[in-house]
Chain A
Amino acid sequence: MSIVTVQLGQCGNQIGFEVFDALFIDSHCPQRLSSKRENEAYQASCKERFFSEEENGVPIARAVLVDMEPKVINQTLSKAAQSGRWKYGQHSSFCQKQGSGNNWAYGYSVHGPRHEESIRNLIQKEVEKCDSLSGFFIIMSMAGGTGSGLGAFVTQNLQDQYSNSLKMNQIIWPYGTGEVIVQNYNSILTLSHLYRSSDALLVHENDAVHKICAKLMNIKQISFSDINQVLAHQLGSVFQPTYSAEGSFHYRRNPLGDLMENLVPHPEFKMLGVRNIPQMSENSLAYSTFTWAGLLKHLRQMLISNAKMEEGIDWQIRPPLPGLPSLSKMSLNKELHFNTSIANLLILRGKDVHSADLEGFKDPALYTSWLEPVNAFNVWRTQRAFSKYEKSAALVSNSQFLVKPLDMIVGKAWNMFASKAYVHQYTKFGIEEEDFLDSFALLEQVVASYCTL
């Protein structure tokens, strides 16, 4: 089954390019560990999901590019075409001239309705190219105007148009210290709307990825290109094909469906995060060897201490002892900064993948009480290695990891809203104070729900 990707705004389009590139390059990486047959099946599966075939053999990304100003799309289209590896469809992009001015209201209330039909047609065309549709992957930022506002509108539209298909939104959480002054307003409006119309929100925080670039990749002058490539690597390790059952040569057919089934048991808890190990510069990689035990030990601690990378992990944080009544468990967890999970999906790729010991992830103490670990924890294994990593593990989790950042954004937006600053910029385009209040109420509810796990 195929995934149709919708790239929205500058951020969405810049990231989208890196994602397709990472997927393509990985699927054509020379493989020593897997058999030829395995590798060919992997390539075919990746292609089915993300690329359609062109006459002269150059794969075309299953993507729709949308932006309200032309510069980024033009750049993205030429970068892909120049690479010679793959490209975007000739008529897969839609752009306007003026941008959304970082105004969520403009993206949602003006651009949305105005361009609804054109965008819908583009998506329809892409969907028709798929033999069978797994769902939509929508890449957008929260801080700007197009990705956030138009992204929310398009997602809502997809919910109406394709009610049987799944939608996963890849959201970029902005840096804590401003990229955009009104980013907190744009964020809360985006999140509250997506919470109603999307099936899952896969969140990447700029601050976290930035740290990975600085500490793990050792990049001195970090550019958005660097950040986007790390992000694409993480997404690739999640979305590339995996076996559907132990030892089978058949790859999973419904990536989005499988992800949702494993990770979103309840609609009130939709926020997913990705942790990936190992992650390092190519130079360092040549000199490193890994064991599954080591990788998984770090990954588990990253999960429970809410660390985003394998450096600087707080090893003091431990899961609480079993047998405690749930209320005191909650307050103890809070004190310990212990990150409780609802569900976890571990994706292992590479050498000796079947020898990995996963008991650490099956500990009930990691999870909230209303799901048995056997339901809350799942693992996918694939012999075929990912990118240049002989062994790699990705952990997609639905946990409390976003509570603090979400709480902060809501708090800052609330403080700004109380003074009514910038509100006139939104009411100008039909987003009223009640809409803000609705968003605040919904998100406070989400924060509270996650807090009481």
Chain B
Amino acid sequence: MVTVRRSALAQPCDGKLFPEPGEVLSYGSDLRQRRDLRSPRPLGELRSCARGIQRRRGFLSALSGQRCSMTQSVIVQVGQCGNQIGCCFWDLALREHAAVNQAVLIDMEEGVVNEILQGPLRDVFDSKQLITDISGSGNNWAVGHKVFGSRYQEEILEKLRKSAEHCDCLQCFFVIHSMGGGTGSGLGTYLLKVLEDEFPEVYRFVTSVYPSGEDDVITSPYNSILAMKELNEHADCVLPIDNQSLFDIISKIDLVVNSGKLGTTIKPKSLVTSSAGTFKKWQEKPFDAMNNIVANLLLSLTSSARFEGSLNMDLNEISMNLVPFPQLHYLVSSLTPLYTLADVNVPPRRLDQMFSDAFSKDHQLIRADPKHSLYLACALMVRGNVQISDLRRNIERLKPSLRFVSWNQEGWKTSLCSVPPVGHSHSLLALANNTCVKPTFVELRERFLRLYKKKAHLHHYLQIEGMEESCFTEAESSLSALIREYNQLDATKSRPVEDLPRLSVAV
């Protein structure tokens, strides 16, 4: 299932801040035009598609002081995993401040979409923009990529173009999918190439859920390797996630919640796992809690683009600072805090603890060990009541325990956004370009080779038109080349950092 939705990052550009009483802003094709009276040229139409005044008011009251329209992103949710995460994202985004915008839903299986259309987000999606195919991809990358890719390309492209047209300034596509299945993996990565061709100047950020070792989909190594080649070549930035890490985070929270410590109560809304105000028991719907963590990641990633701060960081700056070489664009993410204590007698979490936590494995969204590997670059996106001196103090404090590559010893990118997430006074998202992702890829390759050597299940793929064995060997080479690059960097880890001889000039 593919859902394409323009994000809540758009804000209206108004001569006034609030609509007149009784003014209705309608949904879909009826667009209202406004002019910005302050800028030298008319800034363009007010494009907003909100269903009903209620949501609109909530959105606007959060916007007081904001005038100019900003960049937009389009979220592309592919497959079951992608769509579930995506919907959590919208839930939380609404909670933060957003208006609801036009959506395109592309579904390969009716079941999941129907559930969404009947749930609390039913107002959010326009059922006219639904593309459904009942049979699904059967956990086969080739079906998702080759069959559905070509079959639905025009239709999906049409929806994407429409969504893009309604953006004043489209900056980024966020693709959310999993690697191990068929639709998210196959069709999701097919779309990357389409996006690159059709919108070459728009960034492609991909949130990919990698399969864990105990994945119940036998062919997940095939799907993942084939998808990896596409990510290598067509994504600007990839944020790998694995379910085990998300599960560990939930367990940790659960431990604290149920620990029975006297006077310890958690603010329900502050849980990184909670959705719009409700404190759901995660055992009933574990994936909901896990998906919310990823949704929070995306929110924090875009916070500085959406809200003001003393040191802004836009999405294009993430790619610029964290991707030193085109292929090395895999970023390990960690989020803190996971919850806020409501009890006022408990002293507020020290700010410095938040920074330490960001570098602890407990808060990472993928299993990896950055502290014992090599940092190529690191970004700290801080939200809330944190100032530059807090940031600097903590960088100085943490630096000695981290190893940075020789040519980027001060490889820190920082941002300060004034608005914290709901329920928190401050929060931190750390993005690390670190060689610690290598083991994940090595493991993936090994699982692939084990399967491929036996030619197990290969016929399911090869029987699809356009698929040959070379697809597999090429994908494996691509991954091996990536691993080699990380190896080369790791080899420099123990070398002393030396200054290179400089240009000499005549005086």
What residues of chain A have their CB less than 8 Å away from a CB belonging to chain B?
Answer: 10, 14, 69-75, 77-78, 90-91, 93-95, 97-103, 118, 122, 145, 175-182, 210, 213-214, 219-225, 227, 410-412, 414-416, 418-422, 424-425, 437, 440-441, 444-445, 448-449, 452
Contacts and interface: CB of A to CB of B under 8 A. Distances in A.
Nearest to A446: B505
Contact of B411 (A178, A227, A441): A178
Nearest to B387: A223
Nearest to B41: A118
Nearest to A71: B308
Contact of B308 (A75, A103, A178, A223): A75
Contact of A412 (B311, B395, B410): B410
Interface stretch (B87-95, B273-281, B321-329): B321-329
Contacts of A225: 310
B325 A210 contact: no
B202 to A, nearest CB: 10
B389 A222 contact: yes
5 contacts: A69-B312, A74-B66, A102-B317, A179-B311, A182-B321
Q: Which 10 interchain pairs have the tightest Cβ spacing?
A: A101-B316, A70-B68, A178-B412, A222-B389, A97-B169, A421-B324, A223-B387, A181-B321, A224-B310, A419-B407
B362 to A, nearest CB: 25
B168 interface: yes
Contacts of B317: 99, 101-102, 145, 180
A415 B406 contact: yes
Chain B CB within 10 A, most for which of A72, A224, A449: A224
Contacts of A70: 67-70
A414 B500 contact: yes
B409 interface: yes
B312 A10 contact: yes
Contacts of A452: 507
Contact of B502 (A223, A416, A444): A444
B26 interface: no
Contacts of B499: 411, 415
A422 B324 contact: yes
B453 interface: no
Contacts of A95: 39, 68
Interface string B47-79: 000000000000000000111111100000000
Given A180-B321, A181-B412, A415-B499, 4 more contacts: A97-B68, A98-B171, A181-B377, A225-B310
Of A10, A78, A179, A420, which is in contact with the most chain B CB atoms at under 10 Å from its CB? A179
B214 interface: no
B111 interface: no
Interface string B382-397: 0000011110100110
A72 B312 contact: yes
A102 B321 contact: yes
Contacts of A145: 317, 320
A437 B503 CA distance: 9
Given A99-B316, A178-B410, A441 B388 contact: no
Interface string B491-502: 000000001101
Interface string B31-47: 00000001110000000
B505 A448 contact: yes
Contact of B407 (A78, A227, A418, A440): A418
B314 A69 contact: yes
Given A70-B67, A210-B389, A444 B503 contact: yes
Interface string B361-380: 00000000000000011000
B477 interface: no
Contact of B314 (A99, A415, A416): A99
Contacts of B377: 181
Contacts of B114: none
Contacts of B408: 181, 416, 421
A415 B502 CA distance: 9
Nearest to B392: A175
Given A181-B322, A210-B392, A414 B502 contact: yes
B16 interface: no
B68 A448 contact: no
A178 B414 contact: yes
Q: Name the residue in A214, A425, A448 with the highest tally of chain B Cβ atoms < 10 Å from its Cβ.
A: A425
B407 A415 contact: yes
A98 B316 contact: yes
Nearest to A222: B389
B244 interface: no
B389 A214 contact: yes
B502 A181 contact: no
Nearest to B414: A179
Contact of A224 (B66, B68, B171, B311): B311
Contacts of B390: 221
B305 to A, nearest CB: 8
Interface in B145-173: 168-169, 171
B505 A441 contact: yes
B320 A425 contact: yes
Contact of A101 (B320, B392, B412): B320
Given A98-B169, A180-B413, A74 B500 contact: no
B67 to A, nearest CB: 5
A78 B312 CA distance: 18
B40 A122 contact: yes
Contact of A227 (B65, B388, B410, B503): B388
B180 to A, nearest CB: 31
B399 interface: yes
Contacts of B67: 70, 74
A314 to B, nearest CB: 23
B388 A224 contact: yes
B478 interface: no
B83 to A, nearest CB: 28
Contacts of A419: 406-407
A266 B322 CA distance: 40
A25 to B, nearest CB: 21
B314 A424 contact: no
Nearest to A183: B410
B46 to A, nearest CB: 14
A437 B505 CA distance: 13
Contacts of A90: 38
A175 B40 CA distance: 35
A73 B38 CA distance: 12
Given A102-B320, A415-B500, A177 B412 contact: yes
B384 to A, nearest CB: 13
Interface string B291-322: 00000000000000000101110101101111
Given A441-B503, A448-B507, A424 B325 contact: yes
Contacts of B312: 10, 69, 71-72, 99
Given A222-B387, A415-B406, A91 B40 contact: yes
Contact of B500 (A179, A210, A418): A418
A178 B415 CA distance: 11
Contacts of A420: 325
Nearest to B307: A71
A177 B69 CA distance: 33
Contacts of B311: 10, 179, 224
Nearest to A90: B38
B240 to A, nearest CB: 21
Contacts of B69: 70, 97
Contacts of A94: 40
A412 B40 contact: no
A85 to B, nearest CB: 19
B40 A118 contact: yes
A95 B41 CA distance: 10
A223 B171 CA distance: 29
